[in-house]
Amino acid sequence: MPGRLKKFDEFFQRKAAEGGNVVAMARMGSAMRERGDLAEAETWFRQAAMGGDRVSMTSLAHLLAERGAHDEAERWYHEAALAGEPHGMLNLAKSYERRGKREDAQHWYGEAARTGDLPSIAALGHLLREQGRVEEAESWLRQAADAGYTTAMIDLGIVLRDRGQAAEAARWWRSAVLAGDLAATCQLGRQAERLGRPGDAESWYRQGATGGHVEAIVRLGLLLHRRGDLEEAENWYLDAAERGDPAAMTNLGVLARNRGDEGEAAAWYRKAAEHGSVPALTNLGHLAEHGEDFAEAERWFRRAAETGDVQGMLSLARMLRSRGSGHEAEQWLARAEHVQDDREHQV
């Protein structure tokens, strides 16, 4: 639209919005959001939402979530969902899932999925797969995968792989890669590693890594690390670390320690721990223990153990037993055994 005509159009939209026209309010909200004036966009979306416009309810919730007002955002997603707006349903379900309210999340994913919304269909399939309800998951995932939704292709491949249908799983993952989803290169690489084909695994990881997929970068680094190609492995780890990946930071710490630089190792472990790496906590404990700072070592092992990390529990139990706290050591050993038993019985 030519500049002068666009200004006239905005002028009349604003007049209509100021006059109480809900559609004009919603359009003004969209125009202000596109311009980057988020405060005014929020004002117009709020007025349109209060006037009953369900799409504006979702748009308002998006803006609120972006500025950190998550409780109010969830309330507006709920209003949009009750009004039948699929994206409101989807985002309400995501909010519930983040808060661990899986039954509520499943309900709203289901409601949105039944409107035919592909992201919701894929999300419902993913949630059902994680719950071990694989037959229900497969039905939803096939629907989204057949429609070209790549995250559903990846999840469907996982369902099929776990059932022993590796060939069909690989076909779906290849389809996802061809559609541009590099996350599938990690699944194909891991499958190749399980089948004892490291060359194929490397090819898949390299494809993902060169495309900038962080997990693929880390997995390529690990493969090279294990093979002894330490310089190239370190370069890939550095790439992933610069993108904020805690596993890569931890592995850089391992490389530094292996070459005798415990100061650099500690720096990488601390950075990884700040980004949420639990193995980094245990590794910091080992460094402190090696330096005979046993109080510091116990502190790191305890932090790792309290996250549910088995290695942290075992290391903490060993330290406790060595200083005579046998009763607490036995408690941590029992917890570690319980966690390991749970994992062995997971689907």
pLDDT, one tens digit per residue, over 181-238 is: 999 999 999 999 999 999 999 999 999 999 999 999 999 999 999 999 999 999 999 9
- pLDDT of 347 > 90? The answer is no
Q: What does the pLDDT read at residue 9?
A: 72
- Amino acid 154 reads I
> Using an 8 Å Cβ cutoff, are 54 and 85 in contact?
yes
- pLDDT of 341 > 70? The answer is no
User: 46 falls in which pLDDT band (50, 70, 90)?
Assistant: very high
Structure tokens at 269: 């472990």
- pLDDT of 8 > 70? The answer is no
User: 335 falls in which pLDDT band (50, 70, 90)?
Assistant: very high
CA dihedral 109, 110, 115, 119 (to 10 degrees): 40
> Using an 8 Å Cβ cutoff, are 49 and 41 in contact?
no
Looking at CATH, the fold of the domain delimited by 278-347 is given as 1.25.40
Q: Is CATH 1.25.40.10 what the domain over 182-276 is classified as, yes or no?
A: yes
- Mean residue pLDDT of the chain comes to 94
In the chain the first and final C-alpha atoms are separated, in Å, by 56
pLDDT, one tens digit per residue, over 86-101 is: 999 999 999 999 999 9
Give the residue-averaged pLDDT of 318-346. Answer: 83
Q: What does the pLDDT read at residue 295?
A: 94
- pLDDT of 343 > 70? The answer is no
Interatomic CA distance for residues 117 and 245, integer angstroms: 32
Q: Helix (H, G, I), strand (E, B), or coil: what is residue 275?
A: coil
Q: What does the pLDDT read at residue 294?
A: 94
Q: Please tell me the pTM assigned to this model.
A: 0.84
Give the CA distances from residue 86 to residues 79, 120, 125, 273, in Å, rounded to whole numbers and listed in that order.
11, 8, 16, 38
Q: What does the pLDDT read at residue 253?
A: 98
pLDDT, one tens digit per residue, over 260-317 is: 999 999 999 999 999 999 999 999 999 999 999 999 999 999 999 999 999 999 999 9
- pLDDT of 1 > 50? The answer is no
Residue 290 sits at φ, ψ, to 5 deg, of -60, -35
Domain with CATH 1.25.40.10 in the chain: 182-276, 278-347
Q: What does the pLDDT read at residue 271?
A: 98
Q: What does the pLDDT read at residue 11?
A: 78
Q: What does the pLDDT read at residue 4?
A: 53
Q: What does the pLDDT read at residue 79?
A: 97
- pLDDT of 12 > 90? The answer is no
Q: What does the pLDDT read at residue 7?
A: 58
pLDDT, one tens digit per residue, over 119-167 is: 999 999 999 999 999 999 999 999 999 999 999 999 999 999 999 999 9
- pLDDT of 342 > 70? The answer is no
Interatomic CA distance for residues 157 and 48, integer angstroms: 43
Interatomic CA distance for residues 6 and 15, integer angstroms: 14
